[in-house]
Amino acid sequence: MNYKRLLSLLVLLAIACSGRAIPPAPSLSIPQTPAFTTTAILEAAVTTATATPSPMLAPSATRTSIPTMTLTRTPSPSATAQPQIITQCIPIATKLPKGLETGGVIVFVGEPYISYSYLLEVKTGRKMTLWENEGVGLRSFEVSPERNWLAFMRPSLNPGGSRLVIMGSNGKQVQAIPWEDLWRAFNGIAGWLDEERLLISRTSGKKYDPNADSMIVLNPFTGEQSELLPDYPDMAFINLDWYGIGWWGGYSHNGTVYDPSLSRVVYYKYLGNQSWGLSLWDRQAKKELVFLPDYSFYNRPKWFRDGSRFIASIPATLDRAGQSQTNLFLVSRDGEVRQLTDLGVYSAQYEVSGYEWSPDGRKIAFQLSVQTSQPYPDIYPDSDPQSLNRLAVLDLETGLITDTCVPGVEYGQGDVVWSPDGDYVLFDSNDTKKSRVYLVSIAQGFAVQIAENVFPVGWLKKQ
């Protein structure tokens, strides 16, 4: 079983057995041939870098044009209307097709005590193994929005020896700055705001503190930093600090998701009387723009990289059996809401998790959990046809969801990573016997296993 999923299960068990009072969340449903051999080992030396300007790449470069979207509700499928979900089972190929028209460098994170983390150059198949201290693995990997930089924590057993590392797709270390004592050691990097600024979760320094962490806005190239305090109205948050890990990255310790301009924040809110939800807050006007009720904390909201909109899954409808059904919603930065899926009309119960924007903002890939008595076609090696979780892709222009049948993770949320050109998807799978990663193309109709005992966290552009 994937180590990351096992931790989630252990924490769930710990919470169940704990005497600590934790508010119950509403409507929670938690779905959940190596192709390359050439290896190049990176240098193990770690040096503390001094503050320098951002190297090599201009962060102010022109970004991809984002299509304007009209925010309206997706019509419900009916007996005469075209169904929203189409099944297109993609068979597993034994090798990549010739003339694969994509490039870049994939970032794989290893399983503790099983495998190392490494970069994989797609065109050549060259592996660049990331050096790790003996006994402590690398942590908290995050790729910048424009796919130029990789950030991660390199922990050390020596006091003061841990480093925040910034690396390019060539595997060369650009910066290595000291990891401050109050920066969270596990899942401390909450993400990149842009090509120059990171968000890092900062603890209060108090042991077993249930309050939310603050967020440090850090420019790792200049050393400039500022602090964002979690002081928004009616925040409903229980920090999982006493269990030592977080399930959803830095979000699991601070409960806030900021847009790139820092003028908007999405956070978990409690209204009393067992009423929870998701609040979009205007930090400049100091007012709430929209409140989405019954939001499940187990799925992190995802801003599109230009900050114009975000997506979230909400158990907002009932299926035919009267059970809560999770759907995807899109919310503009001004608070306009569009329901993207309407899954409650189907006889099978569906759940949506692990969603990720395509680079152009026109599609969303996610893990679709299908609770049905009908098994999937038995066309995948070492996979159980009865397994519920599969890779699906939503086309925002047509409203159609393509269920690829490619098996996902057995527990928790599968990792979904888009290629920089948006033509391919990496999908994490460990539904039965082992952990493996598929490279999938819906347009070309193939899926190929390209790694095992690792999981994908990003896909960098080739420098």
pLDDT digits (tens, 9 = 90+) for 323-371: 567 889 999 999 999 999 888 766 567 788 889 999 999 999 998 887 6
Alpha carbon separation from 314 to 146, 299, 403 (Å, rounded): 28, 9, 20
> For 54-75, what is the mean pLDDT?
35
Q: Which two tokens stand for residue 374?
A: 């009908």
pLDDT at 412: 54
CA-CA distance, 404 to 384, in Å (whole number)? 15
pLDDT at 318: 46
The CATH code for residues 3-14+33-49+80-460 is 2.130.10.10
Reading phi first (left if > 0) and then psi (alpha if -120 to 50, else beta), residue 379 is in: alpha
Least confident of 155-159, 175-179, 254-258, 269-273: 269-273
Least confident of 20-34, 143-157, 220-234: 20-34
Q: Sheet harboring 198-202: ordered strands across?
A: 189-192, 198-202, 214-218, 225-228
Alpha carbon separation from 3 to 6, 26, 94, 166, 411 (Å, rounded): 5, 27, 26, 25, 11
- For residue 5, the surrounding DSSP H or E stretch is helix 3-17
375: pLDDT strictly greater than 80:
no
53: pLDDT strictly greater than 50:
no
Residue that the structure tokens 């003028």 belong to: 263
Interval 431-459: pLDDT, tens: 556 678 999 998 888 999 999 889 899 99
283: pLDDT strictly greater than 70:
yes
Exposed/middle/buried for 444, CB within 10 Å: 0-12, 13-18, 19+? middle
Beta-strand ranges (E) seen in 180-260 are: 189-192, 198-202, 214-218, 225-228, 256-258
131: pLDDT strictly greater than 50:
yes
CA-CA distance, 317 to 342, in Å (whole number)? 8
Between 368 and 4, residue with greater pLDDT? 368
pLDDT at 238: 58
> For 232-236, what is the mean pLDDT?
88
137: which residues sit within 8 A by CB, 6+ positions away?
Answer: 110, 112, 117, 155
pLDDT at 352: 85
Closest CA relative to residue 78, chosen from 347, 345, 329, 363: 345
278: which residues sit within 8 A by CB, 6+ positions away?
Answer: 266, 267, 268, 269, 291, 292, 295, 301, 312, 314
Residue that the structure tokens 């401390």 belong to: 188
pLDDT at 369: 82
Nearest-5° Cα angle at 155, 51 to 354? 95
- The model's confidence at residue 218, banded by pLDDT at 50, 70 and 90, is very high
- The model's confidence at residue 174, banded by pLDDT at 50, 70 and 90, is very high
- The model's confidence at residue 11, banded by pLDDT at 50, 70 and 90, is very low
Q: What is the mean pLDDT of the chain?
A: 76
Q: How many residues does the chain have?
A: 463
CB 32 within 8 A of CB 115: no
> For 399-411, what is the mean pLDDT?
83
Q: Which two tokens stand for residue 22?
A: 């934790």
CA-CA distance, 48 to 122, in Å (whole number)? 30
Exposed/middle/buried for 317, CB within 10 Å: 0-12, 13-18, 19+? middle
Residues facing 235 on adjacent strands: 269
Which CB contacts under 8 angstroms, 24+ apart, belong to 138-141?
A: 138/109, 139/185, 139/186, 139/187, 139/188, 140/186, 140/187, 140/188, 140/189, 140/249, 140/250, 141/107, 141/109, 141/117, 141/189, 141/457, 141/458
Closest CA relative to residue 438, chosen from 378, 357, 382: 382
pLDDT at 290: 96
% residues pLDDT > 70 (the chain): 67
193: pLDDT strictly greater than 50:
yes
- Give the phi and the psi of residue 124 in degrees, each rounded to 5: -100, -20
Reading phi first (left if > 0) and then psi (alpha if -120 to 50, else beta), residue 274 is in: left
Least confident of 73-77, 339-343, 399-403: 73-77
> For 166-193, what is the mean pLDDT?
93
- The model's confidence at residue 386, banded by pLDDT at 50, 70 and 90, is low
Between 83 and 394, residue with greater pLDDT? 394
- For residue 139, the surrounding DSSP H or E stretch is strand 139-143
49: pLDDT strictly greater than 50:
no
Interval 293-325: pLDDT, tens: 866 666 789 999 999 999 998 875 544 455 567
Q: Which two tokens stand for residue 271?
A: 């209204």
Closest CA relative to residue 317, chosen from 275, 359, 352, 274: 352
Least confident of 65-79, 232-246, 311-325: 65-79
pLDDT at 34: 30
pLDDT at 197: 98
132: pLDDT strictly greater than 80:
no
3-state SS class at 86: strand
pLDDT at 57: 37
Between 115 and 118, residue with greater pLDDT? 118
DSSP 318: E
Reading phi first (left if > 0) and then psi (alpha if -120 to 50, else beta), residue 59 is in: alpha
